[in-house]
Amino acid sequence: MDGRVQLPVLNWIRQNYSVDFVDVITAAGMDGILASREDIEGIINSVNISINDNRSSGIFVVGHYDCRGNPVDEKTHREQIAKAVNRLRAYWPKIEISGLWVNSDWQVELLKI
């Protein structure tokens, strides 16, 4: 949701994946939501639209420095991102799903999960 993160992430995805457009499904503290909440059906429905109707070929779970919707330390964010990625892989086993961390300099890092 955080506007400070949007452009760095969109630009990074466009540069590294040669796509013209990036669908964004957002909520405050999304990495924490996907890692721990049981009811994520609204998010799942939005991702299905992105994949089925807009032909998206990948999914990124993003966490970032100074997240006000999920105010945990970096280590916890990284753990939540990994848990969320693995959770989503059960829904879309044929889609590439990756985790991204945006640091205090607003630089994007691809996580090894």
User: What is the C-alpha to C-alpha distance for residues 103 and 94, in angstroms, rounded to an integer?
Assistant: 29
Q: Which residues of the chain register pLDDT less than 50?
A: none
User: What is the C-alpha to C-alpha distance for residues 49 and 55, in angstroms, rounded to an integer?
Assistant: 8
Residue 83 DSSP SS3: helix
Pairing mode of beta strands 58-64, 96-102: parallel
CA 41, distance to chain mean position in Å, is 16
Number of domains in the chain: 1
Range of the domain at 97: 3-66+74-110
pLDDT, tens digit (0-9, with 9 covering 90-100), for 13-28: 999 998 999 999 999 9
pTM above threshold 0.85: yes
Phi-psi region of 46 (alpha: psi -120 to 50; beta: other; left: phi over 0): alpha
